[in-house]
C-alpha cells in the first residue's frame, strides 16, 4: 500500500524563528524512512489552498511584526477552510506565534490587539519579562507519561479557557504564562505550545504521534504506525531531561 500525506506549511517566510523549520524536516524524514510520501505545500499570503486535501499543518513562530503581516490573510483567506479542517480533526502543530494566532487574540506590548483565528480557547497578553530557557513538559499521549524537551523564548503569556486541555505539566521552565505550570494545549488533533529548538527532532515520540494521527485520519482509525529506531534522539532527550531535572 502506497501511503501519502500532504502537509501545509503556513507562512514559512514570515513565521520561522529558532529553528522551527526543523519540525517540517523531522516529519519528512521520519515519513521517508517508513516509505511514506510527504508532500509539503508552503502557504504564503495570497495563496489559495483546499484544506480538505491537507493531512498535516505546521505553523511556526515569528516576531510580532511578522505576525502582524500575516494576521489578515490568516483570518480572511485561510480562516474559514482552516477552521473547518481543524474541526474535522486536521493534525496541526503550532509553535509560539503560530500558537498565539490560533487563539482568540494577542495583545502586544504597544497595546495593539491582533485578532486570532479563534479556534483555540486561549488568549495571549504580552508581558514585560521574556521567558527564556530550556523547558521540560510531562505529557500523557500514550500508555506511559514521557517528557518533551525544548527551548522557550517568549514574552507573551498565554492563558487557557475551558475549551482546551493542557498538553502537559511544566517540570522545568516557564510554560505558557509562568504562573500555572501549564505547557501547551490540545484541541482535537491540534497541538500548540512554546517549545522551539526545534521541537520534533528532539522528541521523536511526538513526531510519530502526529504522523500516526494523520495516517489514521486519512486511511482509517485502525492504522498502526510501524516502529522506527530513534536511539540517538532518545538518548539525547534522556540526557537533557536528566540534566535539567537534577541541576
Binding residues: 130
Cβ 136 vs Cβ 244: under 8 Å:
yes
The grid cell for 221 is 482509525
Q: Which three cell numbers stand for residue 173?
A: 521552565
Would you call 123 a catalytic residue per the annotation? no
The answer to whether 96 is a known catalytic residue is: yes
Parallel/antiparallel/unpaired status of strands 4-10 and 37-43:
parallel
Name the residue among 110, 104, 142, 136 with its Cα closest to residue 123. Answer: 104
In angstroms, how far apart are the furthest CA atoms of the chain? Answer: 53
The active-site residue out of 9, 14, 96, 104 is: 96
Q: What length does the chain have?
A: 247
List 9, 104, 154, 196, catalytic entry: 196
- Residue 198: asked if its preceding bond is cis (omega within 30°), the reply is yes
Annotated binding site for substrate: 130
CB 190 within 8 A of CB 99: no
The phi and psi torsions of 113 (rounded to 5 degrees) equal: -100, 105
Q: What is the DSSP letter of 79?
A: H
Angle between helices 21-32 and 204-219 (to 10 degrees): 70
Q: Are 36 and 231 in contact (CB under 8 A)?
A: no
Catalytic residue set: 96, 196
Amino acid at each position: 500500500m502506497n501511503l501519502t500525506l500532504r502537509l501545509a506549511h503556513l507562512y514559512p517566510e514570515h513565521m520561522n524563528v529558532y529553528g522551527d523549520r526543523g519540525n517540517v524536516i523531522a516529519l519528512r524524514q521520519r515519513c521517508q524512512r517508513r516509505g511514506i510520501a510527504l508532500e509539503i505545500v508552503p502557504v504564503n499570503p495570497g495563496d489559495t489552498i483546499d484544506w480538505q486535501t491537507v493531512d498535516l499543518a505546521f505553523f511556526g513562530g515569528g516576531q510580532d511584526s511578522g505576525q502582524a503581516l500575516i494576521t489578515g490573510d490568516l483570518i480572511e483567506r485561510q480562516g474559514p477552510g482552516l477552521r473547518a479542517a481543524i474541526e474535522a480533526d486536521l493534525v496541526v502543530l503550532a509553535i509560539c506565534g503560530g500558537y498565539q494566532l490560533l487563539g482568540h487574540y494577542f495583545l502586544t506590548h504597544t497595546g495593539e490587539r491582533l485578532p486570532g483565528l479563534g479556534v483555540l480557547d486561549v488568549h495571549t497578553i504580552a508581558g514585560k519579562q521574556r521567558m527564556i530557557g530550556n523547558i521540560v513538559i510531562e505529557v500523557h499521549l500514550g500508555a506511559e507519561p514521557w517528557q518533551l524537551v525544548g527551548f522557550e523564548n517568549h514574552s507573551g503569556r498565554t492563558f487557557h479557557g475551558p475549551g482546551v486541555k493542557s498538553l502537559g505539566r511544566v517540570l522545568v521552565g516557564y510554560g505558557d504564562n509562568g504562573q500555572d505550570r501549564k505547557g501547551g494545549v490540545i484541541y482535537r488533533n491540534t497541538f500548540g505550545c512554546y517549545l522551539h529548538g526545534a521541537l520534533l527532532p528532539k522528541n521523536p515520540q511526538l513526531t510519530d504521534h502526529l504522523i500516526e494521527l494523520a495516517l489514521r485520519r486519512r486511511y482509517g482509525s485502525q492504522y498502526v504506525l510501524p516502529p522506527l529506531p530513534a536511539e540517538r534522539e532518545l538518548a539525547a532527550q534522556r540526557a537533557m531531561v536528566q540534566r535539567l531535572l537534577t541541576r
